Amino acid sequence: MAKVAREMVERAGVDVDQLVELLVKNAAAELTTYYYYTILRCNLIGLDGEGIKEIAEAARIEDRNHFEALVPRIYELGGQLPRDMKAFHDVSACPPAYLPEDLTDVNAILKVLVEAERCAVRGYTQICNMTAGKDHRTYDLALAILNEEIEHESWFSEFLGEGPSGHFLRRGDTSPFVSKFLK
Amino acid sequence: MNAGMKQFSKEALARYDGKEGRPAYIACNGKVYDVSTSFLWQKGHHQVLHQAGVDLTEALKQAPHGEDLLERFPVVGTLKSD
C-alpha cells in the first residue's frame, strides 16, 4: 500500500474504501469482458461477422490492458483482488457479455458488445466524477480508460448504424491512452 | 400511470432491500421498479454507492445514466408522496 498516497486521497474527501471497491468491480468487468469477448470474437464469422472481428479483437485486448492498468492502483490504495475468481466474476461492475442464442445473428452480437462498452463508459465516468481534483492518479487512469471505452462504443455503434464514429480504427499499437500505465 | 397499481409508502419500500433473498425494489419519480433480476443489483447493492428499498430520484441526477435504463425493469407500483 502507498500509505501517504492513500492518505492524500482521503484528506481530499474521497471515501477510499468505496473507491477501491469500485476499482475492483471495474477490474472484474475488464477481465470478464476479455473472456466473453474472446467467445464473441470467435463467433464473428461469415461475410457480416468477419468485418467486425478486428475491432472486437482490439477492444478485447484493450480491455485486458485496462485490467492490468487498474490492478496496481487497487493495491496502492490498500485494496486487493478477491482470492476466488468466481467471486471476482460476480462482483463485476457490468453484466456478463454473453454470446446471444442465435450465433449467426451478428447484429445481436454487436448489441452485446455495444452494451458492454456503454456500461464501461458509465463506470469510468462515475470514477472520474468521484476523483476529479481529488485523486489525481486514479483520475488520470480512469480518464485514459474512459477515452478508450468511448472509442470502443463508437466503433460498435457505427456498425449498428447509429452514426459515424468520427475517427479511424487503431493503426498498429493498441491502447493509445492507457499504454503509459503499462510500462 | 396505472391507478390500480400497488402504492408503497417509504417504509413499505424499505422492506424490498434485496438482502437475504428479499426482492430489490427502487423508486424513481414516483414509480417503483423491481430490479431483482438485474446483475447490477445483486443483494440489493448497486455500484457500491446505492442500496435498494429507497427512493433514488435525487441520486439518479448524479448517476452516469438516465431513467431510461430503469424502463428495462417492471414497474410494480407507485411511491406515495409525503
Pairwise CB contact (< 8 Å): A123 & B64: yes
A24: burial class by Cβ within 10 Å (0-12, 13-18, 19+)? Answer: buried
Task: Give pTM, 2 decimals.
Answer: 0.92
Interface ipTM > 0.85: no
Q: Which grid cell sits at A75? A: 493495491
> Looking at the partner chain, which of B47, B62, B63 has a beta carbon nearest the beta carbon of A93?
B47
pLDDT at residue number B69: 92
The per-residue pLDDT for range B9-57, each reduced to its tens digit, is 999 999 999 999 999 999 999 999 999 999 999 999 999 999 999 999 9
- In 3D, which of B49, B16, B20 has the Cα closest to residue B35? B16
Domains of chain B: 6-79 (3.10.120.10)
Pairwise CB contact (< 8 Å): B40 & A95: yes
Return the HEC string of B13-77.
HHCCECHHHCCEEEEECCEEEECCCCHHHHHHEECCCEECCCECHHHHHHCCCCHHHHHHCCEEE
Torsion of CA B47, A125, B37, A90, to 10 degrees: -60
> Looking at the partner chain, which of A22, A93, A122 has a beta carbon nearest the beta carbon of B65?
A122
Best of B37, B40, B47, B70 to disrupt the A interface (most A CBs within 10 Å) is B47
| One-letter amino acid of A130 | M
Q: Which grid cell sits at B1? A: 400511470
Distance from CA of A20 to the nearest CA of B (A): 10
CATH number of A3-181: 1.20.1260.10
Q: What is the average pLDDT score of chain A?
A: 96
- Per-residue confidence at B3, pLDDT binned at 50, 70, 90? low
Any residues with CB less than 8 A from the CB of B52 and at least 6 apart, and which?
Answer: B16, B17, B18, B24, B25, B26, B35, B41, B44, B45, B46
Pairwise CB contact (< 8 Å): B42 & A93: no
pLDDT at residue number B82: 72
Spell out the long-range contacts of B12-16 with Cβ–Cβ below 8 A and sequence spacing 24 or more.
B13/B53, B13/B54, B13/B55, B13/B79, B14/B53, B14/B54, B15/B53, B16/B52, B16/B53
The per-residue pLDDT for range A102-144, each reduced to its tens digit, is 999 999 999 999 999 999 999 999 999 999 999 999 999 999 9
B22: burial class by Cβ within 10 Å (0-12, 13-18, 19+)? Answer: middle
Q: Average pLDDT of each block of 10 consecutive residues along chain A (183 residues)? A: 94 97 98 98 95 95 98 97 97 97 96 98 97 98 98 96 88 92 93
d(CA A93, CA A21) in angstroms, rounded, equals 10
Pairwise CB contact (< 8 Å): B63 & A126: yes
Structural element, H or E, at residue A5: helix A3-11
**Could you identify the residue written with the cell 452516469?**
B64
pLDDT at residue number B1: 53
- Per-residue confidence at B2, pLDDT binned at 50, 70, 90? low
> Looking at the partner chain, which of A21, A96, A122 has a beta carbon nearest the beta carbon of B64?
A122
Confirm or reject contact between A126 and chain B (CB < 8 A).
Answer: yes
